[in-house]
């Protein structure tokens, strides 16, 4: 029996959840679907210039899990760009940071500049 999926920690949701070719109607039925945790790996590794190890710590998963998520996200980006398909970012197994460290490894949210304040039962 496979291990249950662990919630991935995500700092924030994307500003826009749909992207597509200009001048064409958005084809939502044939859209490439990227999960929020896939989006987060792209953001952390490519935009924030983190290593896979750093990304894994931030998302509270194994580095090999991050590698799989990242590979999947890159394939989806390539499919959307090369084939001119609409990209939708939605769903996935994730826990959103609340700005107080919950969801960002308990060390405060680096994107929101806040300090961690965890309840006693958190992390157990």
pLDDT tens, residue by residue, 85-122: 999 999 988 898 766 555 444 444 555 443 333 333 33
11 found inside a domain:
no
78 phi-psi bin (left φ>0, alpha ψ -120 to 50, beta other): alpha
79 found inside a domain:
yes
Provide the CATH number for the domain around residue 79: 1.10.10
Structure confidence at residue 114 (pLDDT):
35
Quote the number of domains for the chain: 1
What is the extent of the structural domain holding 76? 30-96
Distance CA 71, CA 67 (A): 6
44 found inside a domain:
yes
Which of 60, 48, 51, 45 shows the shortest CA–CA distance to 94? 60
- Model pTM score: 0.76
Give one DSSP letter per residue of the chain, joined into a string: -PPPPPPEEES---S-SEE--TTS---STT-EEE-HHHHHHHIIIIIS---HHHHHHHHTS-HHHHHHHHHHHHHHHHHHHHHT--EEE---SEEE--SSSTTTTTS--TTTTPPP---TTTT-
123 found inside a domain:
no
Residues 58, 106 contacting (CB under 8 angstroms): no
Q: What is the pLDDT of residues 9-21, one digit of tens each?
A: 898 889 989 998 8
Query: For 94, phi and psi rounded to 5 degrees?
Result: -150, 160
């Amino acid at each position: 029996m496979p291990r249950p999926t662990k919630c991935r920690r995500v700092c924030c949701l994307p500003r826009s959840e749909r992207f597509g070719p200009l001048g064409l109607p958005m084809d939502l039925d044939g859209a490439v679907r990227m999960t929020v945790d896939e989006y987060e790996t792209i953001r952390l590794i490519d935009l924030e210039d983190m290593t896979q190890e750093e990304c894994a710590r931030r998302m509270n998963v194994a580095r090999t899990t991050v590698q799989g998520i990242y590979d999947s996200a890159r394939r989806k980006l390539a499919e959307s760009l090369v084939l001119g398909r609409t990209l939708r970012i939605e769903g996935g197994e994730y826990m959103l940071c609340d700005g107080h460290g919950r969801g960002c490894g308990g060390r405060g949210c680096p994107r929101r500049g806040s300090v961690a304040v965890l309840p006693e039962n958190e992390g157990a």
